[in-house]
Each structure stands twice: as structure tokens, then as C-alpha cells.
Amino acid sequence: MKKVNSHVLALNGDEAVAYAVKQSDVDVVAAYPITPQTIIVERFSEYVANGEVQTEFVCTESEHSALAACLAASLTGARAFTASASAGLALMHEMLFVTSGCRAPVVMAIANRALSAPLNIHGDQSDTMAQRDSGWIQLYAENVQETYDTVIQAFRIAEDTDVLLPTIVGLDGFTLSHTLENVRVLPDEAVRAFVGTRKFIEVLTHEDKTAPFRLDPDYPMTMGPIALPNYYFEFKRQQEEAMSQALTTIRRINAEYSQLTGRSYGDGLVEAYRLEDAEVAVVCLGSTAGTVKAVIDALRLEDVKAGLLRIRAFRPFPVEQVRKLLQNMKAVAVMDKSLSFGGNGGAVYHETRHALYDADAHPRIVNYIYGLGGRDVSPGEIRQVYNDLQNVARGQLAEKSVRYLGLRE
Amino acid sequence: MTGQEWKFTSKEIAEKPELFLSGHRACAGCGPATVLRLIMKATRGPTIVTEATGCMEVASSIYPYTSWGTPWLHTAFETVAANASGIEAALKALKKKGRLKHAHVDVIAIAGDGGTYDIGFQALSGAVERGHDFLFVLYDNEAYMNTGIQRSGGTPLGAATTTSPAGTVVPGKLEHKKPIAEIMVAHEMPYVATASPYYWRDLIAKARKGLEVEGPAFLHVFAPCPRGWRTEPAKTIEYSRLAVETCVFPLWEAVDGKYSLSIPSRVFARAPEKKKPVTEYLKGQGRFRHLFMPQNKALLETIQRLTDEKWLKLLKKCGEATVSEPASSSS
Amino acid sequence: MSHEKSWREIAPAGVCFKSSLTFLTGDWKTYMPIRDREKCTLCLLCVLYCPDAAINWHPDKQNIEFDYNYCKGCGICANECPTKAITMKLPEE
């Protein structure tokens, strides 16, 4: 594939999402505003009002209805998109499971924000982490450029006939959603060609016909039935199979997109930064990775063998990659911008430790809960993490494996 | 409103293909099942149906079996109007982009009490405010029947349900039936109507009108439930007649907000002496049995009084002048 | 119960693959409707009111037929028949 010329636009994260959606031949956007996602829906409304898109834009009366409408639109054969954050995503909770169970390839941008109570509009990842069991693919962007690229890729990943799972693209609230960057955007035709039109798998209907999987009066079919204990389990197994397939699809789409743009995000699932000869490593998601990389570069000049594993795809969790890339570390700090109360640490910590349990070598792994409610994390604090790691690596027992970074004790 | 009124005979209706098929698991004598059959007879071309969680949804879609001869989607309990919004938007978008082979597809949203009065109300109100082109059908059996007869916003005053039982201290539900159809008229929507399956011709004609209207239409259909009402299964249709004859459930339509009384109810406006006392309707229903105990006499009288008041208010809205108050004897 | 399919064999999202017409609810009934053809005026109200579409109008035969494969014996048809042409009877009768 020939590399395509991009031009540069100054966009914040939300604007980049709206722009990517504009270019991706989306049929239906049903959404409800919530800080810090509001710019996505506002910008998109402008596109609609100026006739720049042929998308049906539905301002639903709540997020729960927004996702229900997107789900139904998707099952009718439309390409559907929505966006939310925090309480809005939490309100969608029931429908997240339904969307995944119905195998509808809805794409949703989440401007990651803290959950109430108390009310907080700022960025952390507790909203999407709380939905990790829902059967949605979850991809996290480090910067606005990646946000733009990932939304475009998300349509291909979700709609892949081996996958057919709804997909969340997470961008850190305010840190990315409201921060202006220079973004290389593709020409409209290039995005259109990349996303293509939806392909439908064929299913057997109750009229003994094989038909494309969508609501079509020519091929009556029933979707969303009640499945009793004799069948429900099998549908859940299918969703898990789709998640396994997604591990391959995400890598493949990343590679294909890289051919088109020259931009690749690790292998699509994880990005390793200066990890090959590292002894101490941080694991994190999203924009914090950018700060960590800067700290690593400084530490390297001081001969500290520091590295970073940024997890891009949290669902499906890339167990193989995480195990392979971290097993030879001496000490690992997993940074979680969310907390699973009563669970001894955050979700990324749990899953990283789990990935390493069966490894040949076992680095010491500690957890830093940070950034909750939009609390900023500084390069100095990250440097402190690496200092701690060097002590942990030397075998100094960590009294607490779960620590809090930037908390006033 | 669009052109000619659709005229049909019972034979023509009987000959139309069944789109709500036999073999569904509804109870013997189920009112909603008859309602859905008749609604589907009113379809006029390509149609997509979406349904809320409830009796009819569960009874007609026990995997791998389905009773639906049209494309059909269920997602959740509160979402049917949001589903309809999404389907309608998808059809519009696909049509705009030249990807829809049908010139027009009708969208029907079907729900029971829960999916309309209560948990489904928000989505319904929102969908109507946005003006989506769809028909919303409420099959009203006056309680959450599928989960075991719990009270809903549509349960009438004095009815016993499992969460508003008739006990020694409290005689059934003390709250009133939410005037859902009138609430929908207040949304300033193109078409709202009430119907009852005994009056099958009126019901089918109204369903067809609802489909023909451009924009949202709401059809409130009375649907007795022998199981929940503790009535004889054979009398389901009879109760749907008595409800109209006692003016407990009058039949009317509001076209762009203008009320008119439907023929079956007009009889009682023009000849008030024919209006039956509510006891004719209430007796024989196990859920109202306690109302006939001496200590509940006042409640029974209240029910008659309120029925009469609401009836008179409706007559005014419909421009039906009454010479005198209808004779209402309490039993 | 006939052989149930594995997760690899069924379509995703619960797309149903059997019509309910293959599920015969007729064995639910205790009483069954019997029509006196002499009294029947073919008004077709029973056809319209049956919750189970178990009474069918056959234009080619210009007659109605009761489909006892689906009839649940509710008795609505008997109750509504204007000429009382239908009575509910136990199968032995």
C-alpha cells in the first residue's frame, strides 16, 4: 500500500475524534453530552448542520438510550458511533453487555473521567476499568494523534467478521480531550477506503434461509431472544472466542494502517519503550506514558536501565506480549489510574501480575495508584517510582505492594 | 393524515398472513397475544418490530424458537423507544446513501406496562420529542405480569397485585392509573389512540393509521390478563368489551392533539343510559374481589365516581356534549 | 429434547433458527372447542380473537378449521361466538 500524504491540523483530542468519525462514513451517531466528551458531539453537530456528513445524528435523552439506539442502528446494518465518559458510561452499563452479546460493532470514544461520588469531572480511568467485564474491546491512546488513528482503526477492528465486538477508544479526560496537538490527518478518500463499508456474516434464520446478519424485511430474523440455561453459556463462549480473535485483528489493522501512514503503535496491542535491556519497568495506559518516556530518557543518561511497557489494548488483555516483555525485568511498577476497592490494587496491576504468574522468571511487581480525580502526576513523581523500583530490585522488601502516588497521607 | 382510509373485511384480515405465529408460549386466553396478532394484521409492507422485555417478548422468543414473521429485535426493558429511534435513524441514513432497497420500512415498537409507563417512559418521551417516524404499541395488562403480577404505573386504583396486595390494612393499590395516553397527547405528537381487542376493526384501523402517520404514533391497547387479573381465560375478550361499556377504558383518538371519541364509545356519549356501572366490569376479576367486601364500599364508590368524572372530562375534550350525567348506580 | 448445538454451530447474537410453528402447544389444553357447523355463520370472530391463531379461515374451502396442534383450550372462541356455535368439551366427549 502506498503511503498517503497527510496534512496537519491543530486539534484537541475530542476534535480529533469528531474529525475521524466525520471521515469514517458513519451512518448513525446517537449521543448525550458529558464533560469532557462534549466537544465531540458539539463538533459533530456542526458537521451535520453544515451538511459535511450524511450521518443521522440523534440527540438522545440519556446515555442509556444513546447506546440502545446505536445498538439497534448497528443491527439494522448501519455503522454506529457514540461517545461518553464517567457517569454516562456508568449509566450505559446494562447496555454495554447487551451490545456485546448482540455482537454489534458499535465504536465508542470515552474521554476517561472519574466516577462519582464525590462528583469529579477530571480525568482518570475508573470509568472504563469498571466496564472491563462487559465484552467490549478497549484501546487506550497516548496522545491526540493516536486518538485520531485509533478511532479510524476501531471501525475496522470492531466490524471484522472474525471479531464483531463493540470497541471503546479511551482518551484521557482533559489531558487529551482538551489538549491541542498537531495532528496528521489523512485525506477523506484515504480514510473512506481504509474503513470501507460494513461486511455482514451470514446466519441461519428460522425460515431456514441463510441471510446477512442484520434486520432486513426481506429476511426476517429474530435478534436478542431469551436464552435459557440450555443455551446462554454457548453465546458467552462465542464472545470470548471473538476476544481471542481480536488479539490478531488488532495487530493486523495496526500493521495495515502503518503501511498507509507510517505510524505504528507497537504491535497494536502493546508498545515497548526502551525495554529490550531494561531492568526496571513501568506499565501504564494512556497519556501518562508520554511523561514516563521523558523520564526514562533522562534516567538512561544516568545509566539507569529504565523502560516502559504501554498497554494499548487492555481488552483483550495481551497476556503473551506482557509475559514475554516483562518476565526478564528485575522490578516492575504498574501504574493504575483507577482503583478496585477491596481488591488489593488496580485492574492493570492484577492483570499484569496474572500474566506473569506462569512465566519462567518472576520480577517483583508493585502497584502505584495515581491520578484519581484528575490529580496530576509529575516527572519528579515518576522518577521517584523508578528510584523505588531500584530498591525493590535490590530485594528490599516492599511493606506494601500497593502504593499511592501523589496522595496526601 | 394521508389519503384514503383503508377499508377491510373480516375475511380480508383473516386471509392476511400471520406475522405473530402460533406456537408462542403465552398463557391460554392471553389478551396481549390477541392484541399483537391484530396489530400485525395492520402492517402494510416491509416492517421491523422491536420489543421491550415483557410477557410477549419472552413468550415469543425462547431461543431457538421465534414467533415473529418480521425482523425483530429485543435489547432490554427500558429501551424499546430508543431501539426504534436507532432503527429509524439507520434506515434514514442507509436510504440517503443509496444502501436501502426498500422505499419505506415501517418501524413498530411494542411494550407492556413496564416498558411504557415506568422504566420505559424516558426513552418513549425522548423518542417522541425527537419526532422519529414509528408506531409505539402499549399492550396494557395493568401490571408487570411477566415477572409475577407486580404493580405498575398502569395498575388501576384498587387493584390487587403482588406488590400492592389487598391486605387487612391496605386494600390494593391506592395510587391512580397514570393517564399515559393523555400524557402522550401532551407531547403534541401527531397521533394517539386507545383501542381494545373486542373492537378488532377499530384496533386494526388505528394501528394502520399509526403506521401511516409521518412521525411518532402511540396506541394504548387494553389487554386483559386472565392469570394476573384472576379471570376466566375464556372471558378475556369479554372483559375488553366491558371495560369500554363501563367507560373504564374509553376509546378515542387524538389527531394532532384534536380529540374525537371512537364509535364504540360514542354509543355511551349519545345514550348515557347504556353506560354500565363499573361493578359489571369489576366483578368476576379476582384482583378486585376485595372491593366487594363491606369495609371497601367507599373505595368501590370512589372508583365509580372517578370513572364518571374522567368520562365527562373526555367527552368535553371530544366535543361530545352530554345532556345529563350518565346514570351510574353502584351495583 | 433433540440434540442441542455447540457454540461453534450456532449463529451469534441469538439469532433464532426455529419457527415456533414447530412447537406444538396443543397439548396444553384440557378442553377443546367443537363447532356446530349448522350454527356457524362464518363471521370469523373466532379466527380474529384466538390468541394463538389456532383457528384458520380457508378461502379455498370457504370454511374455518380448528388447528388443535396449537389450540390451548382457552375458550375465548366459545365465549365470543355470537351464535353459540362453539362448545368446549373434554376430548373424551
- Percent of chain B clearing pLDDT 90 (strictly above): 95
* Shared-domain flag, residues A287 and A351: yes
Q: Is residue A218 part of a domain?
A: no
Three-state SS at A167: strand
- Owner of C-alpha cell 504501554: A310
CB pairs under 8 A between B and C: 119
pLDDT in tens, A316-346: 999 999 999 999 999 999 999 999 999 999 9
* Shared-domain flag, residues A243 and A361: no
Q: How far apart are CA C25 and CA C42, in angstroms?
A: 25
Q: How far C23 CA sits from the closest chain A CA (Å)?
A: 12
Q: Please state the separation of Cα A29 from the chain's center in Å.
A: 19
* Shared-domain flag, residues A306 and A158: no
CB contact under 8 A, B70 and A225: no
CB contact under 8 A, B73 and A215: yes
Task: Name the residue in chain B with its Cα closest to that of C88.
Answer: B234
Which of C45, C51, C88 comes nearest B26 by C-beta?
Answer: C51
Write b or e for each residue in A267-301: b if 16 or more Cβ atoms lie within 10 A of its Cβ, otherwise e: bbbbbbbbbeebbbbbbbbbbbbebbbebbeebee
Given a cut of 70, whether residue C2 has pLDDT beyond it is no
Q: What domain count does chain A have? A: 2
- Percent of chain B clearing pLDDT 70 (strictly above): 96
Which of B11, B29, B61 comes nearest C16 by C-beta?
Answer: B61
Banded model confidence at residue B330, pLDDT cuts 50, 70, 90: very low
- Owner of C-alpha cell 451490545: A99
**Helical packing angle, B236-245 and B31-41, nearest 10°:** 80
Task: Name the residue in chain B with its Cα closest to that of C78.
Answer: B234
- Owner of C-alpha cell 353502584: B330
Q: What's the pTM?
A: 0.96
- Tell me, yes or no, if A235 comes closer than 8 A to chain C by beta carbon: yes
Interface of C with A in 19-38 (CB under 8 A): 19
Provide the pLDDT for residue B223.
98
Provide the pLDDT for residue A362.
92
B105 neighbourhood in chain A, CB within 8 Å: 217
CATH number for position C63? 3.30.70.20
Per DSSP, B251 falls in state -
A100 neighbourhood in chain B, CB within 8 Å: none
Q: Is residue A274 part of a domain?
A: yes
Given a cut of 50, whether residue C76 has pLDDT beyond it is yes
- Domain span at A282: 270-405
CB contact under 8 A, A61 and B72: no
Q: Is residue C72 part of a domain?
A: yes
Question: In this complex, which chains have at least 3 CB pairs below 8 Å with chain A?
Answer: B, C
Provide the pLDDT for residue A3.
76
Q: Is residue C91 part of a domain?
A: yes
Q: Is residue C92 part of a domain?
A: yes
- Tell me, yes or no, if B238 comes closer than 8 A to chain C by beta carbon: yes
Provide the pLDDT for residue B305.
98
- Domain span at C82: 36-93
* Shared-domain flag, residues A308 and A176: no
Going C75 to C79 to C80 to C84, the CA torsion angle's sign is: positive
- Tell me, yes or no, if B60 comes closer than 8 A to chain C by beta carbon: yes
Q: Which residues pair with B8 in a beta bridge?
A: none
Contact between B136 and B216 (Cβ < 8 Å): yes
CB contact under 8 A, C74 and B236: yes
Provide the pLDDT for residue B331.
41
Provide the pLDDT for residue C59.
96
Strands (E), chain B: 47-51, 65-66, 72-74, 106-111, 135-140, 191-195, 217-222, 252-255, 258-261
A224 neighbourhood in chain C, CB within 8 Å: 13-14
* Shared-domain flag, residues A241 and A327: no
CB contact under 8 A, A205 and C16: yes
- Tell me, yes or no, if A231 comes closer than 8 A to chain C by beta carbon: yes
Select from C31, C45, C56 the least CA-distant residue to C82: C45
Task: Name the residue in chain A with its Cα closest to that of C19.
Answer: A206
Task: Name the residue in chain B with its Cα closest to that of A211.
Answer: B71
Provide the pLDDT for residue B4.
74
Select from B278, B105, B243 the least CA-distant residue to A219: B105
Contact between C15 and A103 (Cβ < 8 Å): no
Q: Which residues pair with A320 in a beta bridge?
A: none
* Shared-domain flag, residues A296 and A242: no
Select from B243, B127, B113 the least CA-distant residue to A69: B127
Q: How many helices (H) and strands (E) does chain C have?
A: 2, 5
pLDDT in tens, B9-47: 999 999 999 999 999 999 999 999 999 999 999 999 999
Select from B131, B133, B82, B86 the least CA-distant residue to B105: B133
Contact between B316 and B259 (Cβ < 8 Å): no
pLDDT in tens, B190-238: 999 999 999 999 999 999 999 999 999 999 999 999 999 999 999 999 9
Residues 6+ apart with CB under 8 A from B81: A65, B109, B120, B123, B124, B126, B127, B128, B136
CB contact under 8 A, A78 and B89: yes
- Tell me, yes or no, if B17 comes closer than 8 A to chain C by beta carbon: no
CB contact under 8 A, C4 and A238: no
| Exposed/middle/buried for residue B43 (C-beta within 10 Å: 0-12, 13-18, 19+) | buried
CB contact under 8 A, C57 and B15: yes
- Tell me, yes or no, if A201 comes closer than 8 A to chain C by beta carbon: yes
Q: Is residue C52 part of a domain?
A: yes
Provide the pLDDT for residue B322.
64
User: Which domains does chain B carry?
Assistant: 10-264 (3.40.50.970)
* Shared-domain flag, residues A157 and A29: yes
Provide the pLDDT for residue A6.
85
* Shared-domain flag, residues A50 and A178: yes
* Shared-domain flag, residues A34 and A177: yes
Q: Is residue C47 part of a domain?
A: yes
Instruction: For Cα atoms A30, A89, A268, give the angle at the middle one, nearest 5 degrees.
Output: 90
Interface predicted TM-score (ipTM)? 0.97
Task: Name the residue in chain A with its Cα closest to that of B45.
Answer: A217
C6 neighbourhood in chain A, CB within 8 Å: 234
Pairing verdict, β C18-19 and B65-66 = parallel
Q: Is residue C43 part of a domain?
A: yes
CATH number for position A92? 3.40.50.970
Banded model confidence at residue C92, pLDDT cuts 50, 70, 90: confident
Q: Is residue C20 part of a domain?
A: no
CB contact under 8 A, A103 and C13: yes
**Which residues, given as ranges, of chain A have pLDDT below 70?**
1-2, 397-398
Interface with chain C: mutation pick from B10, B11, B19, B22, highest number of C CBs within 10 Å:
B22
- Tell me, yes or no, if C40 comes closer than 8 A to chain B by beta carbon: no
Per DSSP, C12 falls in state G
Q: What average pLDDT does range B115-120 have in this prediction?
A: 98
- Tell me, yes or no, if A36 comes closer than 8 A to chain C by beta carbon: no
CB contact under 8 A, C7 and A103: no
A108 neighbourhood in chain B, CB within 8 Å: none
The C-alpha cell that represents B57 in the structure block: 417478548
CB contact under 8 A, C11 and A241: no
* Shared-domain flag, residues A300 and A238: no
- Tell me, yes or no, if A55 comes closer than 8 A to chain B by beta carbon: yes
Provide the pLDDT for residue A400.
78
Given a cut of 80, whether residue B323 has pLDDT beyond it is no
Write b or e for each residue in A321-360: b if 16 or more Cβ atoms lie within 10 A of its Cβ, otherwise e: bbbebbbbbbbbbbbbbbbbeeeebbbbbbbbbebbeeee
Q: Is residue C59 part of a domain?
A: yes
Given a cut of 60, whether residue B327 has pLDDT beyond it is no
pLDDT in tens, B300-312: 999 999 999 999 9
Pairing verdict, β B258-261 and B252-255 = antiparallel
Q: Which residues pair with A333 in a beta bridge?
A: A282, A366
Q: What domain count does chain C have? A: 1
Contact between A141 and A110 (Cβ < 8 Å): no
- Tell me, yes or no, if A234 comes closer than 8 A to chain C by beta carbon: yes
A238 neighbourhood in chain C, CB within 8 Å: 7, 10, 12
* Shared-domain flag, residues A242 and A351: no
* Shared-domain flag, residues A302 and A236: no
A222 neighbourhood in chain C, CB within 8 Å: 14-16
Sheet (strand A137-140) strand order? A56-59, A28-31, A80-84, A107-112, A167-172, A137-140, A313-315
- What separation in angstroms does the CA of A152 have from each of A44, A109, A168? 15, 11, 12
CB contact under 8 A, A56 and B92: yes
Task: Name the residue in chain C with its Cα closest to that of A206.
Answer: C17
